[in-house]
């Protein structure tokens, strides 16, 4: 594993803890953000939130993920 990937995983863990502590998932419900299929609203919100701080687009993140698998 390279250093960049390690840092990204550490950041993901930190952000996940932050969302749990502030109960972000329960805040999405009054905003009428509900799950219909697939990923939970909290998972999607987390991905968008993380991408903002990594300076990546969704497409770039998806391509990197697919290339690493």
What size, in residues, is the chain?
A: 69
The string of pLDDT tens digits covering residues 1-11 is 578 777 777 87
Range 42-51 average pLDDT? 83
Structure tokens at 3: 């250093």
Structure tokens at 18: 């932050």
Share the mean pLDDT of the chain.
79
Supply the pTM of this predicted model. 0.61
Residue 69 has pLDDT above 70, yes or no: no
Distance in angstroms (rounded) separating the CA atoms of residues 6 and 19:
20
What are the DSSP E strand ranges found in 1-69? none
């Amino acid at each position: 594993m390279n250093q960049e990937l390690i840092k990204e995983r550490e950041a993901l863990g930190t952000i996940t803890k932050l969302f749990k502590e502030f109960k972000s998932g329960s805040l999405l419900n009054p905003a009428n953000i509900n799950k219909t299929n697939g990923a939970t609203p909290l998972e999607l919100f987390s991905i968008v939130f993380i991408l903002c701080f990594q300076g990546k687009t969704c497409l770039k993140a998806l391509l990197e993920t697919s290339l690493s698998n």
